[in-house]
Structure 1
Amino acid sequence: MISPKVTIIMATYNRAHFIVETLLSIQKQTFLDWECLIIDDGGTDNTKELIFEILKQDKRFQFLQRPESYGKGLPGCRNYGLDLAKGEYIIFFDDDDIPHPQNLECCVAELAKNDIWFCRYIREVFVEDFDYKFDYSKDYTSFYIDKKDIQRMLNNELQFNSCAVMWKKECFQSNRYVETLMYAEEWELYSRIVSSGFNGISINKTLFYGRKHPQSNTGEFYRNNPIRRASYVEAIILVVKNLKEKQLLTYSLKRYFMAFSMEFEEYNLFETLLNVLDLPTFEKLKWKVFYAVLPLRLKLYRYRKTFKKKAVSC
């Protein structure tokens, strides 16, 4: 196969009940010059048998087993895909979602501009059956993203979902997934890429639809799965270390992470962040006072918010 323009990397694990619909939606892309690397993470269901005909008829799909030299899990599968990718552009799709037919076409058109390294777009979610009514309009607004947007990325004001960005391959030359992370792996990696100076564009068009179900990593995190929560803590520490090294750790970001660490008291995240920052004694003391009074401040904030709502309703 001549090197395609786009490489789609898809990690899969026991998703026989969803993956066929996902692969068929990829086949319906209006942009045709792509390869799709399906990386199996050691699944035990009949995924390969179910997609056999698709693999046989469409050579743009490849089904591969993750080697033991890559860590088990989504990051290891994606790193393996990155090492095999032939495309000039890289995009990650999950094995249970639906991409818009114009997904690749719109992103490739934006990345043809020499001054950007990635194209972010809107991702929506759906439950159960998908409604195949797409908006094919190419009339959309956009804005540029660079290092100044790091805080909005990290506090999820500017969400960077794993399947909602197409990247130029060069972004991954020195940046790979951390294979010990089982949650927030793309949050850590994507912020690291943007903090390294790669700028991009965000287009206001929905190009991906994520299937919402309890077996997803996100679903497990919000059910307080300890593996996912511990991974988020590890990702936070890595992000703070990276920003400190690049001198991008502003006071506002420090405040955000110090406050957020309260959500992970069982991991002693606050003290770990203080050690990572290696602050002068007086500044360290100020943050300890901030952390100590934060529960009271949050309680007063919630009380005032409730009082205002009652006052408006009266």
Structure 2
Amino acid sequence: MNEVKVTIIMATYNRANFILETLTAIQNQTFSDWECLIIDDGGTDNTAEVIAPILRQDKRFQFLKRSDKYEKGLPGCRNYGLDLAKGDHIIFFDDDDLPHPQNLALCVSELADNTIYFCRYIRNVFFGDFDYQFDYATDYTSFYIDQNDVEAMIKNELPFNSCAVMWKKECFEHHRFEEHLMYAEEWELYSRIISSGYKGISIDKCLFYGRKHPESNTGEFYNHNPIRRASYVDAVLLVLKNLKEKNLLSYRIIRYFIAISINFKEYALFEKILTILELSKLEQFKWRFFFAILPIRLSLYRMRKAIK
């Protein structure tokens, strides 16, 4: 298993207060044949000073400034890392989270199967200080994921967190992050990869712990940051275009996107969805009627739920 090298790609921006704990957790991996590319996105704090000792001590870490060929932001940093990666497998870690010590080892073991191109696992979250009490059991259950699971992935019934998947490098030969996206960039990219026919496995074991704080991209999105919300709208439209081109759009997927578009009226998401779908006048009328009565249906649903 140690013959396979893993490239860890970590974008960072002003995380001097968290990043050292993350790098130490990477050093504590039971699998040792890895490189970690730390891509700085133009931070202004003392991250470089904080991590300097670990860079001198462990040459598997590299600290790099994002090249100007790539757009500022998480997607650009990750694409830069993909172009530099020497590993057979790729995994993206955030600069404020913590991987389980068995993360790399178990994923590499699963990817030894030549028919499997990615390994998904469970990600839990934590607040404040982390409790370093790990479960080292290896008797977990698993199931396969393929193109038939695209709908569940898109609807987040089968979540694909950016830091909860290891990929074979081949998955990125024709697929990269859309660099203008500032939110949902991994959701858009991963749906493209899976819809292209790559088969993977999901293991029922937590191998990553996400730190929750309001400065995260997700935290900003749920606090109605307009940049994150606009990016999500763009990601939705890209996902729709991809599925339409691959003839993978189902009634349930269309219904899902039209339903969520009610929360993005300021971006005219509903009208943009109809434009992409290129529906007949009759089909457009049906969806416009569905969209018009949706607030009433949601109100009735909330009332029934409150009564129960």
Output the TM-score relative to the length of structure 1: 0.96
**What residue number does 1:248 align with?**
248
Q: Note if contact 1:22-1:95 (Cα within 8 Å) is conserved in structure 2.
A: yes
Residue 212 (str. 1) matches residue 212 (str. 2): yes
**What residue number does 2:6 align with?**
6
1:1-314 mapped onto 2 (5 Å cutoff): 5-307=5-307, 309=308
- How far, CA to CA, are the matches of 2:144 and 2:258 in structure 1? 29
Give a deviation string over 1:32-64, Cα, whole Å, max 9, x none: 000000000000111111111110110000000
State the AA in 1 paired with 2:137.
S
**Aligned to 1:77, what secondary structure does the other structure show?**
helix
- How far, CA to CA, are the matches of 2:260 and 2:224 in structure 1? 16
- How far, CA to CA, are the matches of 1:201 and 1:264 in structure 2? 34
CA deviation after TM superposition for structure 1 residue 21, in Å: 0.3
CA deviation after TM superposition for structure 1 residue 293, in Å: 0.8
- How far, CA to CA, are the matches of 2:9 and 2:98 in structure 1? 14
Q: Note if contact 1:4-1:86 (Cα within 8 Å) is conserved in structure 2.
A: no
- How far, CA to CA, are the matches of 2:4 and 2:304 in structure 1? 57
Number of positions where the alignment pairs a residue of Structure 1 with one of Structure 2: 306
- How far, CA to CA, are the matches of 1:306 and 1:29 in structure 2? 47
Q: Note if contact 1:4-1:35 (Cα within 8 Å) is conserved in structure 2.
A: no
- How far, CA to CA, are the matches of 1:68 and 1:142 in structure 2? 41
- How far, CA to CA, are the matches of 2:244 and 2:178 in structure 1? 18
- How far, CA to CA, are the matches of 2:302 and 2:62 in structure 1? 52
- How far, CA to CA, are the matches of 1:301 and 1:94 in structure 2? 37
Give a deviation string over 1:1-55, Cα, whole Å, max 9, x none: xx96100000000000000000000000000000000000000111111111110
CA deviation after TM superposition for structure 1 residue 155, in Å: 1.1
CA deviation after TM superposition for structure 1 residue 103, in Å: 0.1
- How far, CA to CA, are the matches of 1:16 and 1:297 in structure 2? 47
- How far, CA to CA, are the matches of 1:4 and 1:21 in structure 2? 25
Q: Note if contact 1:123-1:210 (Cα within 8 Å) is conserved in structure 2.
A: yes
Give a deviation string over 1:49-108, Cα, whole Å, max 9, x none: 111111011000000000111000000000000000000000000000100000000000
**Aligned to 2:18, what secondary structure does the other structure show?**
helix
- How far, CA to CA, are the matches of 2:165 and 2:151 in structure 1? 18
CA deviation after TM superposition for structure 1 residue 115, in Å: 1.1
State the AA in 2 paired with 1:208.
F
State the AA in 2 paired with 1:56.
R
- How far, CA to CA, are the matches of 1:271 and 1:16 in structure 2? 43
- Gaps in structure 2 of 5+ consecutive residues: none
Give a deviation string over 1:149-180, Cα, whole Å, max 9, x none: 11111111111000000000000000000000
Output the TM-score relative to the length of structure 2: 0.98
State the AA in 2 paired with 1:29.
Q
**Aligned to 1:37, what secondary structure does the other structure show?**
strand
- How far, CA to CA, are the matches of 1:258 and 1:243 in structure 2? 15
State the AA in 1 paired with 2:56.
K
- How far, CA to CA, are the matches of 1:306 and 1:119 in structure 2? 39
Percentage of matched positions with identical amino acids:
71
- Gaps in structure 1 of 5+ consecutive residues: 310-314
**Aligned to 2:210, what secondary structure does the other structure show?**
strand
The more displaced of 55-64 and 292-301 is 292-301
State the AA in 2 paired with 1:248.
L
Q: Note if contact 1:76-1:179 (Cα within 8 Å) is conserved in structure 2.
A: yes
- How far, CA to CA, are the matches of 2:255 and 2:223 in structure 1? 26
State the AA in 2 paired with 1:236.
V
State the AA in 1 paired with 2:157.
E
CA RMSD of aligned residues (A): 0.8
Give a deviation string over 1:203-256, Cα, whole Å, max 9, x none: 000000000001000000010000000000000000000000000001110111
State the AA in 2 paired with 1:298.
L
**Aligned to 1:10, what secondary structure does the other structure show?**
strand
